[in-house]
Chains A and B, each alone.
Chain A
C-alpha cells in the first residue's frame, strides 16, 4: 500500500464516528410520491377485482403442478390484486409465485407492473427481509424495480431507519450500473452514507440458498470443469465491498466536494488502493485548486488596488500640473499686459467702455421714477473728420 493510504485508525474514525448533527428522519420525498390513490385505483379494473385471492392462488398452484409453469399475466394479476399486504402468508405466496415465474421460460413475458406490485405489497406489509431476498437474487426471483420504485424504497427505508435495506437497494442500483436521475443518485449516496455511519444496523444477510454437502467426499462426473472465476461485480458478497463500490461509483455522478469525499470513502471500503490514490489526488488537487483560486483572487485584487491607486495619483498630479500651468499662464498674461501697455494702448482704449456711469439724484421714495442710463452702441466708431 502506498504511503498515502489511510491508516486503520483514521479509517476507523472516518467510518464510525457518529455525526451528532445528523437530523433524524429527514423527509427526502413528499408524501404523495407514493401516489396511493392512483395505486388503489387498480382494484377498480374488472380484470383485477374479479379475482378471489385464495382461489386464484390455489388455481395457480394446480396449474404449476400439472403443467410445470405459471403464466406471466396470471402472476401479474395476482400481485395487483393484493390489497392487504399485512395478511398472513402474503410474503410466502408472493415469493413462491415469483420464483415459479422466474425459473420458467415465461419469464421473458413478465409484465413491468409485476415488479412494482411485488415491491409495493412487500414494502407496505413490512416484509423487508423477503423483499431483500427477492431483490438480491435476480437469477432466482428476477425483481427489477425501476428508478421511481427505487426512490420510494430508499426513502421508506431511510425513514424507518432500516439502513441496511436502503444500502442494499443502492447496491442493487450499482450492480445494474444505472443510478438514474439525480434524485436516485443522491438517495443512493445518502443510503450508503447512513448505513456506514450508523452503529447498530440490521445484519447484512446472505440469501443464497445453502447447499447441503455430504460429509464424505462424493465425486460427480461432469463433461467439462469450470475454471474458478471471480468477476468482482455480481460475485461481491461482503457488505463493505458492495457499499464501498456503490459509493465509489455513485459519488462522481453527484460531484462536488461531497462526491469526491464519498468516492475516497468508497474506494477505501472496497479495498482498491490504486483507485483510492487517484481519488485522493483528485481531492487534493481539488482543494489546492480552491486555495489556489482564492490566492489568485487576492493577488488580482491587490494588483487592481495598486493600479487604481497609481491612476488616482496620476490624475491628481495632472490636475495639479494643469492648475500650475493655468496659474503661470495668467501670470504671464498679466505681465504681458503690463509690459506691452503702451504698445496696445489704442486697442485697450477701445476695450474700455466710453459711457460714464451717470448718477442720478435719488428721487424721493414717494415718486419712484426709474430712469435708465442712455444705451450707447459700442460698435459705433465716430467718423474721423
Chain B
C-alpha cells in the first residue's frame, strides 16, 4: 500500500467511539457499546450512551487522527458493578469500542441483573510483629505489640492464606 503507517501496536480491537456515534442518529443516545479489552472479564461490562457531543475534529491528513475529541456521558457497568453516569470523554478516542445490536442487548442486561457480587473478605487491620522486632520492642519498652497495616494496593490478599504466625513457629 502506498501510504504505510508506522507506529506502536496496540491490543485494541474495534472502532473509536466517535466513529460509532457519528453513524447513529441522535448521536447514539440510548445505545449500548462494549469495549473489547473488557470482554475478557466474566462479569458483565458495558456502557450505555446518555449524551454525546462530538467535536468532529480532523487531524493531520492520512494519519488516522480524525474524530478523537468530544464530550460523552455514559452509564457505566464495569465487572457487574454499576457506576452510574460518568464522563468518558478522555477515553472515547480509543479504537476499542463495538456497538451492541438491539437484539443482543438483552444478554448483557440479563447478565448484569443476575450478577451476584463476590463476598467481601474483611482483613484484620493489625498484624503481629515479626518475632525479632517484637523482642527489640519489648526490650526498649515500647507498648505496642502489633503492627498496623495500611491495606491498599501493596498488600495482596491471596485467598487460602499466605502466611501468618505459623511461619514463625519455633524460630525463636
Contacts and interface: CB of A to CB of B under 8 A. Distances in A.
Interface of A: 102-105, 107-108, 138-139, 142, 144, 175-178, 211, 213-227, 229, 231, 233-234
A221 B53 contact: no
Chain B at the A interface: SS class: loop
B10 A225 contact: yes
B53 A220 contact: no
A142 B11 CA distance: 31
Nearest to A137: B23
A224 B56 CA distance: 20
A218 B11 CA distance: 25
A27 to B, nearest CB: 29
A226 B64 contact: yes
Interface string B56-72: 10100011110100000
B26 to A, nearest CB: 8
Given A226-B12, A227-B12, A216 B2 contact: yes
Given A102-B56, A227-B12, A139 B27 contact: no
A139 B95 contact: no
14 contacts: A105-B56, A107-B56, A178-B25, A213-B2, A214-B2, A218-B3, A222-B63, A224-B7, A225-B5, A226-B95, A227-B9, A229-B13, A231-B98, A231-B99
Contact of B4 (A102, A144, A217, A231): A217
A103 B56 CA distance: 5
A105 B53 contact: yes
B6 interface: yes
Interface stretch (B14-22, B127-135, B152-160): B14-22
A78 to B, nearest CB: 20
Nearest to A143: B25
Given A105-B56, A139-B19, A226-B64, A221 B6 contact: yes
A324 B62 CA distance: 109
Contacts of A216: 2
A103 B58 contact: yes
Contact of A222 (B2, B6, B25): B6
Contacts of B6: 219-222, 225
Nearest to A107: B56
Contact of B22 (A105, A138, A218): A138
B55 interface: yes
Measured as residues with beta carbon below 8 angstroms from the partner, the interface class of chain B is: 35 or more
B105 to A, nearest CB: 10
Interface in B72-116: 95, 98-99, 101-102
B12 to A, nearest CB: 6
A195 to B, nearest CB: 22
Contacts of A220: 3-6, 62-63
B167 interface: no
Nearest to A172: B25
B23 A138 contact: yes
Q: Name the residue in B2, B11, B20 with the highest tally of chain A Cβ atoms < 10 Å from its Cβ.
A: B2
B1 interface: yes
Contacts of B15: 229, 231
Contact of B27 (A108, A217, A223, A225): A108
Contact of A234 (B3, B23, B53, B95): B23
B58 to A, nearest CB: 7
B54 A222 contact: no
Given A105-B55, A229-B95, A139 B23 contact: yes
A164 B27 CA distance: 27
B118 to A, nearest CB: 32
B8 interface: yes
Nearest to A252: B103
A255 to B, nearest CB: 15
Nearest to B20: A234
A229 B53 CA distance: 25
Contacts of B63: 220, 222
Nearest to A233: B99
A218 B4 CA distance: 6
